[in-house]
Amino acid sequence: MTAELACQVVGEVAALWRYPVKSMLGEALERLSVDSRGVCGDRAWALWDHATSRVASAKNPRLWKELLGYRARFLAEPESEAPPAPVAITPVGFGEAGFPRVAADSDAGGAGDDLLSSDPKMAERLSSRLGRKVSLLDQVPEGASLDQYWPAVEQRAFQDVVNELVLPGGTFCDSSPIHAISTASLDRLRKLEPQQDFAVERFRPNLLIAPNGGAEGFVEEGWIGRRLRLGASVELKVEQGCPRCVVTTLAQGSLPQDLDILRATARHNKVVAGILLSVLRPGAVAVGDLVTLLD
């Protein structure tokens, strides 16, 4: 294979996100650090539900759809191999989505409505707001799992049931440590179902990739099994396509609840949109960095 074919620029990084607390809204950033475990600080924290002994996740919206009405941000930049940086959690409600905004807490332990991980009463305040006893964790319990709800959508193995998903050891991520989607995939879905709002935020990626040369369709699936280099140093392996779940359909920010988002993904691409990646070489990545497909 020639060097030209083995090393091909396929696009650039269009946007970056990390999610400090699992299932809450996260941070859109211009630059991220990637370590051996994934995006540094991503899903560093999670809520633990005492009633079920499970990690709280919007994958079970019957209990936890309200988590998407909170935004989490780091108060200091997280560092690789260090304890998770402190976070602030801000209730933002659901705006125009038809759900009431969360009432302000006059004793939130921080500026405005912020709930701070450093506040000894953080768990008590979150429990009061969510109506369930929770703790905020920065360490993953051994054998941790979550409940996931499967709505009645064709192409899925389960229909209208809840089952258990055991998390990979040592992480609050569901499976692979990094998730990406391309602007081409989103544009393809919009063309096929123009009445639906396929906002990238519904898919909660770490990376939004803009392909080169007007590439169309679900182009990133053609990278499965190969390596991507982001910028000068970060290398990732494309493990598989990303099967979508109920979270893409839930209200978040100004986006309303819409089950047809998942149904459309099922109709047109077997419920897959985006890719899951593992880390081969850590480093830093920034918006505008070139994305290079390696052999």
Average pLDDT over residues 174-185: 96
pTM recorded for the entire structure: 0.91
Q: What is the pLDDT of residue 95?
A: 56
Element (H, E) at 64: helix 61-64
Which domain CATH number covers 51?
Answer: 2.40.33.20
**Sign of torsion over alpha carbons 207, 60, 172, 124:** positive
Burial (CB < 10 A; 0-12, 13-18, 19+), residue 81, is exposed
**Mean pLDDT of the region 138-156:** 92
**Bigger pLDDT: 110 vs 213:** 213
Higher pLDDT, residue 103 or 259: 259
Q: Is the pLDDT of residue 104 over 70?
A: no
Model pLDDT for residues 33-82, shown as the tens digit of each residue: 999 999 999 999 999 999 999 999 999 999 999 999 999 999 999 999 89
Instruction: State the average pLDDT for the chain.
Output: 91
> Shortest CA distance to 15 belongs to which of 31, 2, 4?
31
Range(s) of the domain holding residue 105: 3-293
What total of structural domains would you count in the chain?
A: 1
**Segment 154-163, tens digit of pLDDT:** 877 778 899 9
Q: What is the pLDDT of residue 36?
A: 93
Query: 46-49 and 38-39: which strand pairing?
Result: unpaired
